[in-house]
């Protein structure tokens, strides 16, 4: 089980670092769009959609990377005083308490948008 967890964490770290390069692509895309829109007065059709999709992917991949690196923001005033086992239990409870309702909301509203798009 520990091997599987370490493999998943290693994969999350590798994918997170790879997606970190998307920031450069995103920066160049925004710069290009601003240049052609305001200097050449010839905006592109694809740049905005590509930037939104890339930022969304980057946002989604940052979560597992931050989780694997243990770099999520937390109120550390009392947390650091707790025993490691209590910290792990608290982490698990809070992940379940916030992750699943968030995913349920994304699924619910995403299903509504998907349903509307088929009309």
Inter-axis angle of helices 22-34 and 47-69, nearest 10: 150
Domain assignments of the chain as residue spans, ordered by start: 1-72, 75-119
How many CB atoms are located within 10 Å of the residue 3 CB?
7
pLDDT in tens, 57-115: 888 888 888 877 877 777 778 888 889 999 889 888 988 898 889 889 989 999 999 99
CB of 61 closer than 8 Å to CB of 26? no
Helices (H) and strands (E) in the chain — how many of each?
5, 0
Which residue is listed with tokens 């920066």? 27
Tell how far CA 97 is from the center of its chain. 18
């Amino acid at each position: 089980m520990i091997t599987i967890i370490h493999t998943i964490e290693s994969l999350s770290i590798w994918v997170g670092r790879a997606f970190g390069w998307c920031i450069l692509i995103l920066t160049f895309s925004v710069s290009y769009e601003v240049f052609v829109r305001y200097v050449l007065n010839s905006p592109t059709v694809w740049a905005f959609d590509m930037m939104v999709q890339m930022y969304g992917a980057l946002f989604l991949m940052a979560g597992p990377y931050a989780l694997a690196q243990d770099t999520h923001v937390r109120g550390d005033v009392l947390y650091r005083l707790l025993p490691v086992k209590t910290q792990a239990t608290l982490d698990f409870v809070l992940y379940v308490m916030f992750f699943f309702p968030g995913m349920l909301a994304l699924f619910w509203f995403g299903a509504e948008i998907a349903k509307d798009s088929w009309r």
